[in-house]
């Protein structure tokens, strides 16, 4: 059976410089080849850097990347994986204070929430619109977006490099 291929991007929004080689090794381990990350200064902290890496790999690679980076102190990142045949797209967001959040994504990058999760949010809210709003914010990862937005903005001039795996 042929492997279903997809692509995505790893956004390291901020990390202490001491973690850079460890992040590189972790990405190489998951992607199965060497990567050359271009670290640039993260304006939000004197010892922080950031980078972006575009990848091509089998469906599920984004989840493996996100899991590999999960839990490292002072690391803020996002990993995206585009939809592919038989698989929805995904986005994983991580901050030191909130941990990791996953959401499925459409072909245009919008968050997609399945009906069971929506029903659960409605049930938990018990008709209270404020509670429903809080539950929907949780499903959509609003707290993660709010915390990461300043780091995303600070890196708007970063370059993206596509890496294609041959073979």
The rounded distance, in Å, linking the Cα atoms of 80 and 44 is: 23
pLDDT value at 160 more than 80: no
What does the domain layout of the chain look like in residue ranges? 5-111+144-154
Angle between the N-to-C axes of helices 61-69 and 20-31, in degrees from 0 to 180, rounded to the nearest 10: 150
pLDDT in tens, 79-122: 999 999 888 999 999 999 999 999 999 988 899 999 999 999 99
Mean residue pLDDT across the chain: 91
b/e burial code for range 123-144 (CB count within 10 A of at least 16 → b):
eebeeeeeebeebbeebbbeeb
Q: Which fold has domain 5-111+144-154?
A: Alpha-Beta Plaits (3.30.70)
Confidence of residue 167 (pLDDT cuts 50, 70, 90): very low
pLDDT at residue 157, as a whole number: 57
């Amino acid at each position: 059976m042929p492997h279903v291929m997809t692509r995505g991007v790893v956004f390291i929004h901020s990390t202490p410089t001491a973690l850079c080689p460890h992040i590189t090794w972790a990405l190489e381990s998951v992607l199965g080849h060497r990567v050359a990350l271009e670290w640039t200064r993260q304006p939000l902290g004197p010892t922080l850097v950031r980078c972006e890496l575009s990848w091509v790999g089998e469906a599920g690679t984004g989840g493996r990347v996100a899991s590999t980076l999960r839990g490292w102190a002072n690391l803020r990142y996002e990993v995206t994986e585009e939809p592919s045949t038989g698989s929805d797209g995904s986005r994983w967001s991580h901050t030191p204070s909130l941990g990791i959040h996953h959401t499925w994504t459409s072909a245009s990058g919008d968050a997609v929430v399945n009906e069971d999760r929506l029903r659960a949010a409605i049930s938990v809210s018990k008709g209270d619109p404020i509670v429903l709003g809080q539950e929907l914010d949780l499903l959509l990862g609003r707290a993660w977006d709010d915390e990461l937005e300043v780091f995303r903005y600070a890196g708007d001039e970063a370059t993206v490099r596509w890496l294609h795996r041959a073979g």
